[in-house]
Amino acid sequence: MKHLALFLLILSLSFCKSTAVKIDKQVSQQQERTEENYTINEKMEIIPRQIIKIDKDEAGIDYLKLLPGDKTVFKYSYKKKINDKTLMDAGYTQNIYFEIDGDVKNLDLKDDELKKVNLIAQIYGFRNAVLMPVNKGSLSIKIVDDKTIELEIHIDDSYKNILQKHIKQLIKV
């Protein structure tokens, strides 16, 4: 009888879903596709033991940098480049950053709660550069299994400079 109870306990634990994923090293996955006359490159990175820091340069312009720290930083990059080589300033780059404490866990945040993870949009293109905190929208992290994370970000339409407002990624770690 004890063996049966032990067997049932082990069996039930094997069906339990993981509630956290430990990230020991940087994770990166990338995909490229062509749409009309553009090449789109999307890259998702998870960078452990870093923090996001916003500084100002000598001209008073904000810039973002990653420094060693105790957080896990997520970085989503979206690059859109026109395939016409005769056009000089025909590209657009958007980076979305946020940071979480330690291991990756299930998380659902909305609007002002996004300040908890320091959600920031960084945009380059069309002769301008913008760095802005995002506090209207939502962010969801779901642990699918011990090797897969589902990330979904919705950025409110009021952020006019941000082209890629809905991001959904399955990340293999």
Query: Would you place residue 2 in the very low, low, confident or very high pLDDT band (cuts 50, 70, 90)?
Result: low
Q: For residue 47, count other CB atoms closer than 10 A to its CB.
A: 20
Answer yes or no: is pLDDT of 169 > 70. yes
Cβ pair 162, 123 in contact under 8 A: yes
53-86 pLDDT, tens digit each:
999 889 888 889 999 999 999 999 999 888 887 7
State how far the alpha carbon of 146 is from the alpha carbons of 15, 21, 89, 153, 155, in Å: 12, 6, 42, 21, 27
Per-residue pLDDT tens over the stretch 77-123: 999 888 887 776 677 899 999 999 988 999 999 999 999 999 999 99
Q: What is the pLDDT of residues 127-154, one digit of tens each?
A: 677 899 999 999 999 999 989 999 999 9
Q: Which residue has the higher pLDDT, 23 or 129?
A: 23
Per-residue confidence (pLDDT) for residue 125, from 0 to 100: 76
Which residue do the tokens 């001209």 mark?
59
25 pLDDT above the threshold of 90? yes
Stated pTM of the model: 0.85
Q: Where are the domains of the chain?
A: 23-172
Q: How far apart are CA 61 and CA 76, in angstroms?
A: 22
Reported confidence tier of residue 8, pLDDT bands at 50, 70, 90: very low
